[in-house]
């Protein structure tokens, strides 16, 4: 259950920071480092990061984002399906 709370939290946080960074970009203010944005996707927030990229139209043209974020979203989706299948929830 802790894993579920972690994934919900990290994805919500990733979504929010993509929105904040987009707003800062529009206002030409200090930005959140790209390494931090990518790190949220890598450490479980790929779904929130992907949603933030799409909804805020943010970092969608940068190769390291449009490849890395969806890649980790697929990785986490596969892991979630695997974990659920092992706990007999999907059967």
pLDDT tens track for 7-50: 999 999 999 999 999 999 999 999 999 999 999 999 999 999 99
pLDDT at res. 1: 80
Question: pTM of the prediction?
Answer: 0.90
- Find, among 79, 85, 91, 45, the residue nearest to 18 by Cα: 45
What pLDDT is stored for residue 89 in this prediction?
Answer: 67
Pick the closest to residue 37 from 23, 19, 55, 57 (CA basis). Answer: 19
Q: What is the per-residue pLDDT for 57?
A: 95
Q: Residue with structure tokens 């993509």?
A: 18
Does the structure show a pLDDT above 80 at 58? yes
What is the token pair recorded at 36? Answer: 């931090």
DSSP 8-state code for residue 6: H
Predicted pLDDT at 85: 87
DSSP 41: I
């Amino acid at each position: 259950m802790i894993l579920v709370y972690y994934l919900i939290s990290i994805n919500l946080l990733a979504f929010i920071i993509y929105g904040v960074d987009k707003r800062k970009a529009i206002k030409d203010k200090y930005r959140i480092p790209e390494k931090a944005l990518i790190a949220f996707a890598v450490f479980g927030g790929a779904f929130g990061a992907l949603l933030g990229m799409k909804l805020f139209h943010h970092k969608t043209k940068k190769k390291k984002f449009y490849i890395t974020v969806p890649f980790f979203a697929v990785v986490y989706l596969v892991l979630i399906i695997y974990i659920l299948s092992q706990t007999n929830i999907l059967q």
